[in-house]
Amino acid sequence: QVEFVESGGGLVQPGGSQRLSCAASRSSIDVYAMGWHRQAPGKQRELVATFAKGGVINYGSSVKGRFTISGDNAKKTVYLQMTNLQPDDTAVYSCYATNIKTTYWGQGTQVTVSS
């Protein structure tokens, strides 16, 4: 079982920035990768960013160049710096951790981009 401590999120104006953080606390799993997906109302869940062992990073096409993920898999923490946020970025952002066999999900945090 994995428990997540997530922080960040909330309301931000278009063009603004926010930082999300996620820690897989009280976890005994050997984390292979952590990151975020997001889901907006009426839309499918999509990849935001992944931080994997060896520092391998992947971004969803809609956030490349605007979002930056960083973290420490040994410490089971990951951070997402989001810049130039736009209304289309409004969604519930869910942190996850995977050991390849199983993926565990946090409860998610709402990010709303609106003026």
Mean pLDDT of the region 78-107: 95
Mean pLDDT, rounded, of the chain:
94
Q: Which two tokens stand for residue 93?
A: 């952002």
Cβ(109)–Cβ(6) below 8 Å: yes
State residue 82's pLDDT score: 98
State residue 75's pLDDT score: 87
- Note the pLDDT tens digit of each residue in 1-56: 788 999 999 999 999 999 999 999 767 788 899 999 999 999 999 999 999 988 89
